[in-house]
Structure formats: C-alpha cells, structure tokens
A and B are shown apart, each in its own frame.
Chain A
C-alpha cells in the first residue's frame, strides 16, 4: 500500500460545488437521498451502540458500588482498630511513664509489687512478735498454775491459745497477697512485651500526664509509708527538737537514706512460695467446702 495516496478532505466550496453538480441531475439527486438514508441508519446504529455501552457501564458500576460498600466498612473497621491500638499504646506507655515526674521512681507495677511484699513481711514480723508474747504469757501462766489458781490459769491459757490461733491470719493473708503479686508480675511481663513490640517506652501524652497528676499543692509530700528512705522516730524527734538554724538538712537526708531497708526486690522470695495456693477468692467460694462438709467425707 506504499503507493496509495490518502485523499485530503474537501474544502467547503469544493463540497458545495460537487453537491450542486449532483443536484442538477435526476441520478445525482437519487444518490444523495440514498446516501442520507444510509447515513441515518449508521447514526442510529452508533447511537444504539452508545446506549448499550452506557447501560453496560451502569451495570458494572452498580456491581462495583456493592463491593465498594464492603470495602468502605472494612476501611472504617480498620481505622477504628488502628485508633484503638493507638489508644492502647498511649495507655500502656502511661503505665510506665519515664517523664520528669517519675525520673527516680521504679515502674508503677513494680512499686505495687514491692508494697505488697512489704505488707507480707510486715505482717510476718508483727505475727512473730504476737506469737512471742503469747508464748511468754503461757510460760508465766504455768507459774500461776503452780500457785493453785487453776481456774484463772485455765482461762489465761485459753486466751493465749486464741491469740496463737488468730496469728494464722498471716499465713492466709500471705497467700492471698502472693497471688496478687504473681498476677501483677504477670501483667508487668505482658506490658513489657507489648512495649518492646510497639516501641512506646517513654511515651507520655500531655493530656494523660495532666489527667493523672495530683494537683494538690502538697502532693509531692504524699507517697504513703516509704519502702525505703524513711527516717526513724528518734531522727524525727531530733529534727523537731532542733533549732531551725542548727539542722544539717543534708546530713539528715543522708542519714535517712542510710537507714533505709533493703529494697523489697532483694528480700527473700517467700511470698512466691504460696503463689499457686488458692485463697478462696469470690469466684472460688462456690466450690469451696467448709469443715463440716469435709468431715462428712471422713466418717
């Protein structure tokens, strides 16, 4: 087809001249009528094809919109999930703040665990003191009995026994607290794992920091009984009795630190020993037996 020459379009004058030439003869006019008819048919065909295409497009669009609805729902769900994860990250990061307010503090869960450990050890010490007292009463009572005051001696013995038995609370409460400590340690491990995964360590949004801050003017002076760093009564007395001009505050603080007990974390792991023993929390009460029910099992 290299030799075929593509004709150029006619100019307006050329078109009118040819049309006039055709209109001047019968055959020419017949040709023009036939050409108009064919042109109309072609136009209708093109119109119909166009309509068909539009119809098909609308149908495809309808199908897509149903899919789009599902995609939109998914998208919203994902956005909500992302928002929840962000919120969780903020909450978790706030559980272990590393801001200036907490620069010297251990992590909060750790602190709670240490406080509970301290309770266990305090009650143990108190129980030992009570037991010592009860045993001394019993020793003295044996001498009272020797004087012939048998009824009184019997009553004192009974009361001393009641004191001894009441000391059993230390075992029970120790077990209960140990369970809580175990749970706290588990939570701390999980929080640590999430922080490692999400890399949110040290994040503390300002609004959360404000929300959790104690706004009382003397809040910085209130932290409950100290686990370490407290002063004993004699130091308090000395401070109260001394003239303000003679107090060496630096020495007082140093003495307070020197008198501090070992951190709770370094204490013997006694509470852990009972971690697996249930202490009949509410959920277990229903399945717990009282002594009379147990007795019926041992006829």
Chain B
C-alpha cells in the first residue's frame, strides 16, 4: 500500500474528519487534506491530484454521492479511488453508491481495522 499518496477526507463533522485523519496518520499517510462538503472537495480535486478520497454521504450543499458521480464523470478524476464512509446502511444506498462507481463502502460506526482493510483494498 502506497502511503505517500495525497488523501482527501470529506465530512461535514469535524470530529469525524479528525478521527479519520488520525487513523490515516497511524497507517502512515501524512499527506492529508480535508473538506467539509462535496462541493469543497470537488474544488480541491480539480486543483490537485489525490490518490484517495474518503467521503461521508450526507452533506450540504453537495452530498458524497453527488461528489462521487462528478468524479466518475470527470475524465481527469475518474480513476481516483473513492471510499464512502457513512451511516447510510440501507441496501438501496449501497446499491446506488456501487452503481455510481464507489470503490468501497464503510458503515459508521466503524473501527480502525475496517478502515485500514478497505484502504488497502482500493490502493
């Protein structure tokens, strides 16, 4: 697993961004940026190439699913690994995310081991 890639953590709860950032640090990632909604994340992605996006689903004004669809529709960004981390755990949510091209999906609350495993599976 290449831990030198820049990672973008997208969540409207600063607590959750902080938790994920700490876990990423433990795994060995040091190049981490944050965004608090899909629109802000997309702006960052257009300005810089990220090797991994870890995003919440329910945010405003742009949700994680909208961000995912934008990323997959953008020829310059569509190959970016994208992990959804969300409390949305209904079947239709997972199916919709998969249809939109999500790389992996983590249900909140999650543990450190799950995050590590999922990151390893997409990098």
A142 CB → nearest B CB, Å? 11
State whether B26 touches A171 (Cβ < 8 A). no
Q: Is the CB of B108 within 8 A of A172?
A: yes
Query: B1-9, B10-18, B39-47, B70-78: which lies at the A interface?
Result: B10-18
Is B26 within 8 A of A277, CB to CB? no
B79 on interface, CB distance cutoff 8 Å: no
A287→B109 contact, CB < 8 A? no
**Chain A residues bordering chain B, tally (CB within 8 A):** 35
* Chain B positions 9-67 with a Cβ under 8 Å from a chain A Cβ: 11-13, 15-16, 18-19, 22-23, 26, 57-60
Residues of B within 8 A of A277 (CB): 57-58, 86-88
Q: A124-B15, A131-B15 in contact; A276/B87 too (CB < 8 A)?
A: no
Cβ contacts under 8 Å, B89 to chain A? 280, 288-290, 294
Q: How many A-B residue pairs have CB under 8 A?
A: 98
Number of interface residues of B (CB under 8 A): 36
Quote the shortest CB–CB distance from A231 to chain B (angstroms).
29
Q: Is A291 an interface residue (CB 8 A)?
A: yes
Whether B19 and A168, one on each chain, are in contact in the complex, defined by CB atoms closer than 8 angstroms, is yes
Q: Please, which residues of chain A bring their CB within 8 A of the CB of B88?
A: 277-278
Per-position 1/0 for A134-145, Cβ under 8 A of B: 110010000000
* Complex Cα gap A136–B35 (Å): 24
Q: Which residues of A contact B12 (CB under 8 A)?
A: 273-274
**From residue 265 to 299 of chain A, which have CB atoms closer than 8 A to chain B?**
273-274, 276-280, 284, 287-291, 294, 297-298
Contact with A161, one of B58, B94, B106, B112 (Cβ below 8 angstroms): B112
Complex Cα distance, B26 from A273, in Å, reads: 29
Interface residues of A in 163-205 (CB under 8 A from B): 164-165, 167-172, 174-175
Asked if A284 contacts B22 (CB within 8 A), the reply is no
Known A168-B108, A175-B87: A276·B19 in contact at CB below 8 Å: no
- Is A127 an interface position by the 8 A CB rule? yes
B90 surroundings in chain A (CB, below 8 A): 278, 284, 287-289
Complex Cα spacing A48 to B112, Å:
104
A114 within 8 A of B: no
Known contacts being A289-B107, A290-B107, A291-B107, is A298 close to B23, with CB within 8 Å?
A: no
Contact residues, A105-158 vs B (CB, 8 A): 124, 127-128, 131, 134-135, 138, 157
A/B interface sample: 23 pairs, CB < 8 A = A124-B15, A161-B23, A164-B22, A164-B112, A165-B19, A165-B110, A168-B15, A168-B16, A171-B13, A171-B109, A175-B58, A276-B58, A277-B87, A280-B87, A287-B91, A288-B89, A289-B91, A291-B107, A291-B114, A294-B105, A297-B98, A298-B103, A298-B105
- The chain B residues found within 8 Å of chain A, CB to CB, are 11-13, 15-16, 18-19, 22-23, 26, 57-60, 86-92, 94-95, 98, 103-112, 114, 121
**Among all A-B residue pairs, the 10 with the closest Cβ atoms:** A277-B58, A288-B89, A168-B109, A171-B13, A171-B16, A170-B15, A287-B90, A161-B112, A127-B15, A164-B19
The chain A residues found within 8 Å of chain B, CB to CB, are: 124, 127-128, 131, 134-135, 138, 157, 161, 164-165, 167-172, 174-175, 273-274, 276-280, 284, 287-291, 294, 297-298
